[in-house]
Amino acid sequence: METLSFNDHKTKVTLPRRLLASLFYFSHVLVTLLVGLGWLAPWDSVLWTVVVVYCATEILWHTRDGYCILTDIERWLLGIEKPESALQQNFIHRLLTSLTGKSPTPLNSRKMTVIWGRLSLTVCIIRLYSPGF
């Protein structure tokens, strides 16, 4: 399964739309970091934020056939058509490829995303309801 390239379409889009798309990309990175590492935070407010954000993410994935709303908005701003499969636009796959230079399969990226997110959610819930943990 081929993934979409977000870089191929940037020259066809106006600067304000590219900047707005970049804002959505970086907000997506922040959400990813929050969910992925928020369970390490010493503050209950961050733990609750992880719980709410990840649960909302799972609900959105379920109701939108695996498509992420942030990626959809970024893609729309860049004028990229919606792919046939949500795996073709997997954000974590794109992030890992850009950070490491290695390209895991989109399916493995999706599985890793769900496993890590649910693990983070579980740790946050345990920490919230187990004083001293």
Asked, for residue 99, whether it belongs to a domain, the answer is yes
Closest to 120 measured CA to CA, from 128, 109, 131:
128
Domain interval for residue 44: 7-129
Decide if 87 contacts 110 (C-beta within 8 A).
yes
Domains in the chain: how many in total? 1
Asked, for residue 2, whether it belongs to a domain, the answer is no
Asked, for residue 32, whether it belongs to a domain, the answer is yes
Distance CA 109, CA 85 (A): 14
Q: Give 83-119 pLDDT, tens digit per residue.
A: 999 988 889 888 988 888 888 888 999 999 999 999 9
> So what's the pLDDT on residue 90?
86
Asked, for residue 105, whether it belongs to a domain, the answer is yes
Read off the DSSP letter of residue 66: T
Residue 8 has pLDDT above 80, yes or no: no
Asked, for residue 1, whether it belongs to a domain, the answer is no
Distance CA 108, CA 126 (A): 27
